[in-house]
Amino acid sequence: MSSYQFNKEQFKQEVCANVKNLFRKTISEATPKQVFQAVSYAVKDVIIDEWIATHKEYEKQDVKTLYYMSMEFLMGRALGNNIINIRSRDGIREALDELGFDLNVIEDQERDPALGNGGLGRLAACFLDSLATLGYPAYGCGIRYKYGMFKQKIQDGYQIEAPDDWLRDGYPFEIRRDEYAFEVKFGGYVRTEWRDGRNHFIQDGYQSVRAVPYDMPIVGYGNNVVNTLMIWDAEPINTFNLDSFDKGDYRNAVEQENLAKNIVEVLYPNDNHYAGKELRLKQQYFFISASVQRAIKKFKSLHDDIHMLPEKVVFQMNDTHPTVAVPELMRILLDEEGLEWDDAWDITTRTCAYTNHTIMAEALEKWPLELFSRLLPRIYQIVEEINRRFVEQIRRTYPGDENKVRSMAIIYDGQVKMAHLAIAGSFSVNGVAELHTEILKKKVLKDFYEMTPEKFNNKTNGITQRRFLLHGNELLANWVTDKIGDEWITDLPHIKKLAIYADDEKCQQEFMNIKYQNKIRLAKYIKEHNGIDVDPRSIFDVQVKRLHEYKRQLLNILHVMYLYNQLKDNPEMDMVPRTFIFGAKAAAGYKIAKLTIKLINSVADVINNDKSIKGKIKVVFIEDYRVSNAEWIFAAADVSEQISTASKEASGTGNMKFMLNGALTLGTMDGANVEIVEEVGKENAFIFGMSSDEVINYETNGGYNPMDIFNNDQDIRRVLMQLINGYYAPNNTELFRDLYNSLLNTLSTSKADTYFNLKDFRSYAEAQKRVDAAYRDEKWWAKAAIMNVACSGKFTSDRTIQQYVDDIWHLDKVTVDMDE
Ligand code: 26W
C-alpha cells in the first residue's frame, strides 16, 4: 500500500494559486480566513483523487455497504483532521511557515460544523473516522442543517443562544451532487388502483420537496480510503409537480416552497428530550426517504434481484430518529418493486438494525397518530399493517396475555411508538455500554428481549484517538510515539506498552510537564475568553457535556458551594488549589438547565472575586463548549467528572476522551465508567455514589425523601439555604428558588430530587477529599494518570466498529492503491 507523497513546493504553489483564483489576491495580501479557504481547497485536491479511487474500488469489488443513518453528525473542524489523516501535518506546517502563516492559526479560522447536539452526534462522527481508517465501505446519511447547534453566549451569567451560520463563507469540503437528487412526498391521501392483478397505492394531493445531497469526504488515516458523508439539502420542486386536481393551486405551490425552506432550516437543540414537533418528523422522513432511495438506486445499478439487498446493504439506525427507514423501505419494496408483504418484510428486517442510546423515558419518540397519518399517509398504512402482524405475533407467543400487547404494540394509546417499530423492524438491537445493554434487557426492553433475545447485543462506544489525542494533544501524542512507536494511532491497544513507564520517575516528570503545558494553553484560552486568571498548578477539575439534570452539574456546583463555606469558616484550611471548569449547552427551552448555568456563573463571580480564600478555588464556565475547544480541554484536565445518577448515562464518551488524555475519573458506576474502571483498576479512579441497582430500587419503590437529609445534615442544609437567601443573588433572593424546589420540593406534586443529588452528596464530597489527598503525592498521581492513558486501548471507536462489522454488518475490508 502506498500513501500520498506530500510535495511541499507544489503545495505552496497550489495555495498561492487558490488565493489568487478565489480572492484576487497575492498570498502576502491574504487574510488568515482566506488562507484557510485556499489551504482547504489544496487539501481537498489531494483527497479527491483518493475519493475517486476508493469508489472505483468499491464498485469493482461489488462490496456490501453500510448506510449509517443519523439525524446528527457532530463532525467538528475538518481541515486539521484531514491534514492528519493524509499524513501531511509536518509538511503542511512547514509549507505554511514558509508562506508566513501558522497552521494553528489557519485551522482556527474554520467554523465547527456542528450538525449535532452531543454524545449521539459525536459518536456518529467518530464512527465515520474509524470506518474509513479500517477500510470499510460506508456512507453517513444525515441532514445539511442550514443552522447547526446554536452558539452559546454568556451574558450576565445567563445563556444566550445565537444562530450558527456555519455555511456563511461557504464550506470548502462539501460537494453538491445535483445528479443524485430525489423527490420526497408529504401529506395528501392514498388512492388504491387495481392493475396487473394487484393493488397499486398512489399518493395524491401531496406536497413534495427536492432532496439534494452534499457529499463530504471522510478520510481514512494513511490508507487512501475516502468514504462519504451525504447530507441532504431541501429545494423546492420548481416544475409544479401537481396533479390535474391541484393545477393552478397557487396556495399549495407557495406552501410547497415554504416546506422546502423550513425543512432543513435548523437542528433541534434537544438532547434526550422528545418534543413531538411536526417539523421534526418532516426532517426525519425527508432525509430517510432520500437516503433509502439513493441506496436502492445504487444497489439496482449493479444488481437486478432485489432479494439480494440484505447481502449488499445494511442500514444502521442511530437511535429511533431514523426509524421511518423501516416503513420507507417496505414502501419501496411493495409499491415500487411490487413484492408481496412477507417477501418485503423479510428483506427489510434483514437490512435494518437499531442502536438504542438512552433509557430516559422522556426521550422516547411517540408520534400522535393524527400527525403521523396526515403527514405520511402511505407510510402510516404500512406501519398499521406492521403493527397488526406484530400484535398477532405477540398473541401467538403469549396467548391470553393482553398486558404484553399493551406494553409492546407499535401503535397504542393513539401513538406510534418508534422504539417498538425499530425493534420489530430490525435484526439487531444494541445498547452502547455493558451496563446499559443489561438495563435494556432486564428492565426497559425486557418484554422485547424475552420474545426475541437473539436480536439483542452490546457494542460499547468508543472514540477516535486520531482526533482526541493525535490532533488535540500533540505534545502527549509525540511523547507516546517516542516511547512506544506510532502503532497506537491505528491500533490503540498498543498504548498498553506505556504501562512499563508508569513507575519511572523521569517519565512521570515528562508526563506531568506535558500536562502542565496543556494547562497553560487552556489557562490562556480562559484568560482570553473569560478574563479569569487560573493557576496551571492547581488541579483542573472538569465537567464538560450537555447540561442535563441526570448528568448532575448541580451536584458539582453544590459541592463547590460547600467547599467554599468550609474555606470561609477556616481560611487556613489545607487544600490543593482547585480550578473547577464547566462547559455545557442547555436546550433552549430547558429552564432548570439554564438556571443551573446561571448558578454556576453566579457562584463563580462570588468565589473568583473573594481575595480572602487566596485563590484556592476558581470556578470557570467556558462559553460555547464545542468539538474544537473540547480537544484543548481534554488535554488539560486532571480530573474527569462523570457523575451522572447511576443507570441514567447510557455510556458517555467524554469519559473516554479524558482517560485517553491522562485525566483521572471521578465518577459513579454508570455507563462506560464501569468498563473504564475495569480496565484501569478501581485504585486509579475515584468512584462514589449509589449503584444503578440501588437507584432503580428506590425508583420502583417511589423515590426517597431528601427532607431527611436536609434536616439531618447541616452542611447540606446551609448550601441549600444559600440558594434562597440571596447569598449568590443579593438582588433577587428568589432567583434560584426553582433549583431549591427541584431538590426538596415541598409544594408541587412532582417528586423531589429525582436524580439523587442529596443522597449522593456525602459520598461525592468524600471522593473529592480523596482527590485532594491523592494529588499531593505527585508520583502517585503521575503514575495513575499514565496508567489511565495506558489502559485506554479498549475505548477506541476502531474496536467498536470492528465489533459492529463482526456481529452485525458483515462488511469486507477494502484496500485502495494509488499507484495503479
Ligand atoms: C428526541 C429527542 C432526543 C434527542 C437526542 C432523544 C434522544 C437523543 C439522544 C439519543 C441522546 C444522546 O445523545 N444519548 C447519548 O448517546 C451517547 C452515544 O451513545 C452516549 O454516550 C450517552 O450516554 C447518551 O446520553
pLDDT digits (tens, 9 = 90+) for 780-819: 999 999 999 999 999 999 999 999 999 999 999 999 999 7
Query: 19-28, 251-260, 403-412, 685-694 — which is least confidently predicted?
Result: 251-260
Whether the predicted pLDDT of 250 surpasses 80: no
Provide the residue type at 719 as one letter.
V
Residue 272 near ligand 1, beta carbon < 6 Å: yes
Whether the predicted pLDDT of 708 surpasses 90: yes
pLDDT score of 748 = 56
Whether the predicted pLDDT of 240 surpasses 70: no
Query: What percent of the chain shows pLDDT beyond 90?
Result: 95
pLDDT score of 241 = 53
395 part of the active site: no
pLDDT score of 3 = 65
CA distance 428 to 443: 18
Residue 431 near ligand 1, beta carbon < 6 Å: no
Query: Measured in angstroms, how far is the CA atom of residue 586 from the centroid of ligand 1?
Result: 14
Where is pLDDT greater, at 615 or 245? 615
Q: Out of 144, 417, 483, 546, which one is annotated catalytic?
A: 546
**Are the CB atoms for 549 and 360 separated by under 8 Å?**
no
Query: Measured in angstroms, how far is the CA atom of residue 650 from the centroid of ligand 1?
Result: 8
Domain ranges of the chain: 518-705+767-782
Confidence band, pLDDT 50/70/90 cuts, at residue 247: low
pLDDT score of 4 = 81
Whether the predicted pLDDT of 750 surpasses 90: no
- Residue minimizing CA distance to atom 6 of ligand 1: 272
Whether the predicted pLDDT of 508 surpasses 80: yes
- What count of residues does the chain have? 820
- Residues 36-43 have a mean pLDDT of 98
pLDDT score of 651 = 98
- Residues 589-616 have a mean pLDDT of 98
Q: Domain spanning 518-705+767-782 has what CATH number? A: 3.40.50.2000
Query: Measured in angstroms, how far is the CA atom of residue 576 from the centroid of ligand 1?
Result: 35
- Residues 481-489 have a mean pLDDT of 98
Name the H helices within 664-776: 673-680, 692-700, 706-712, 714-724, 737-744, 757-776
How far from chain centre, in Å, is Cα 97? 35
pLDDT digits (tens, 9 = 90+) for 108-160: 999 999 999 999 999 999 999 999 999 999 999 999 999 999 999 999 999 99
Residue 274 near ligand 1, beta carbon < 6 Å: yes
Q: ipTM score of the complex?
A: 0.99
Residue 319 near ligand 1, beta carbon < 6 Å: yes
657 part of the active site: yes
Pocket test for ligand 1, best of 69, 73, 120 (most atoms within 8 A of CB): 120
Whether the predicted pLDDT of 2 surpasses 70: no
653 part of the active site: yes
Query: Measured in angstroms, how far is the CA atom of residue 122 from the centroid of ligand 1?
Result: 10
pLDDT digits (tens, 9 = 90+) for 579-589: 999 999 999 99
56 part of the active site: no
Cα–Cα distances (Å) from 410 to 390, 428, 446, 554, in that order, read: 8, 17, 15, 37
Whether the predicted pLDDT of 518 surpasses 80: yes
**Are the CB atoms for 297 and 181 separated by under 8 Å?**
no
Whether the predicted pLDDT of 749 surpasses 70: no
Query: What percent of the chain shows pLDDT beyond 70?
Result: 98
Query: Measured in angstroms, how far is the CA atom of residue 589 from the centroid of ligand 1?
Result: 17
Where is pLDDT greater, at 1 or 704? 704
Whether the predicted pLDDT of 406 surpasses 80: yes
CA distance 662 to 654: 13
Query: Measured in angstroms, how far is the CA atom of residue 271 from the centroid of ligand 1?
Result: 6
357 part of the active site: yes
Residue 525 near ligand 1, beta carbon < 6 Å: no
Q: Out of 77, 210, 357, 420, which one is annotated catalytic?
A: 357
When the pLDDT of each residue in the chain is averaged and rounded to a whole number, the result is 96
Cα 169–Cα 175–Cα 177 angle in degrees, nearest 5: 130
Provide the residue type at 663 as one letter.
A
Confidence band, pLDDT 50/70/90 cuts, at residue 249: confident
CA distance 107 to 36: 7
Q: pTM of this prediction?
A: 0.98
Strand partners, 176: 214
pLDDT score of 244 = 47
Confidence band, pLDDT 50/70/90 cuts, at residue 678: very high
pLDDT score of 239 = 57
